[in-house]
A = this chain, B = another copy of it.
Amino acid sequence: MDVNMTRIRPYGDTLDDGYMQLSFTLPVPLSAEARKAAEILAEKMGLEDVKVVYAHSIADSFSFFVVYGRCIHSVDMTAIDIPKVDADFMSYEEINEFIEKRIGRKIVVVAACTGTDAHTVGIDAIINMKGYRGEYGLERYPWFVTYNLGSQVPNEDLVAKAIQVDADAILVSQVVTQRNIHIDNLTHLAELVEAEGIRDRVLLIVGGPRISHELAIELGYDAGFGPGTLPSHVGSFIAQALERSIRNRAEAKGAYPCQMNP
């Protein structure tokens, strides 16, 4: 198959045929005109050969449609450059060894599901002993000290705890995304951390089913983790990022010795 990476198009059963499936509801009673409207809408979206293959009336005043068509748009994959979590993934043993050898002290993390969000399963999967998909959570790692504050924690409390225990990383989980509540809440947390003057001392990490690393970076976080994240992914990142930042800080010290002894 000779795929042109600069013009990727959907694949039905032949390269570049552009086939895709749509389903949606229009707030009008079912009629030949409503069907036509569905077709026109799909055309406006850039579909050709539009087939409205199913149309069903919902409660007399709505119409549901299933549509197939060929998308005329294409995407240049070679131009896509998205940030990726900067870490080599290591195993449980490797992470512990890495911390022992290269950092030489336990890493302290605080974690919570903040705001009105009460979905703790995701953050628990990362932090708690029990872990996720057969992997232990960070709590079980001898070289991590963890504080999992649970659900619906005010951002203020999370930051206060981080200061209190001198945390190396703040882990926040956001699952509910309705009306972009997670964006507001994450922005608020980032501002708080900044305002408390600890931003350069902690890694700020967010996770959740709708979180991407790209989004996390946009919001000023150090990393973002989406669905399917394993504790070791997060552990690897924290260990390596912390080691980097300690090294940088040390170098910074070396570079400006006068600043250290004013």
Contact = CB atoms under 8 A, between A and B. Distances in A.
Interface in A179-196: none
B25 A45 contact: no
A147 interface: no
A34 B71 CA distance: 17
Contacts of A34: 77
Contacts of A41: 8, 10, 71, 73-75
Interface string A33-72: 1111100110011110001000000000110000000010
A241 to B, nearest CB: 18
A51 B212 CA distance: 11
A33 B82 contact: yes
A96 to B, nearest CB: 28
Contacts of A214: 36
A103 to B, nearest CB: 28
B19 A37 contact: no
Contact of A21 (B5, B22, B35, B212): B22
Contacts of A23: 20-21
B20 A21 contact: no
A33 to B, nearest CB: 5
A210 interface: yes
A27 to B, nearest CB: 4
Given A37-B75, A45-B47, 5 more contacts: A8-B26, A8-B37, A10-B24, A19-B24, A32-B212
Closest 4 CB pairs of A and B: A20-B24, A10-B24, A44-B73, A45-B45
